[in-house]
Every structure is written in C-alpha cells, then in structure tokens.
Amino acid sequence: MAEDGKTCDVEGCNEPAERSISNKKVEASGLPVPGGKGNVRLCRAHYREMKKRNKRNLPDYVG
C-alpha cells in the first residue's frame, strides 16, 4: 500500500510512506509528528514502532 512520492511524517525521517494513520493514534505512541493533521503518513519502521508502543500502553491508546 505504498504511497508514491510520499514520505514519512515523523521528524527527521525521509523513508517512503507505507501507511496513513490517524494523528491521535500516532500522538498516543509519542512519535514526533506535526500536529493538526487528520492523518499522518508513516514508513514501515515507524508504523511498527507505533504499534509496539501503543500495545505496551493500552490505557493511553486512543482508538
């Protein structure tokens, strides 16, 4: 599900984006992303990191 020409929205990452996730879910994981957007594009590595962080912090997980 790669998005052609799109890059990961995590600060300092220039990898190609593979997923588009709601900003609330990504912010709950603590990844440094720009605020105010409806969805955030993530590369494969940051998507996996977000899933792992949210799994560890289930009460903080929004969604």
Average of pLDDT values for 51-59? 79
Single-letter code of the amino acid located at 27: E
pTM of the model: 0.79
Percent of the chain with pLDDT over 70: 83
pLDDT above 60 for 15: yes
pLDDT above 90 for 49: yes
pLDDT above 80 for 59: no
Average of pLDDT values for 17-29? 91
Sequence spans of domains, the chain? 1-63
Residues 6+ apart with CB under 8 A from 47: 18, 19, 21
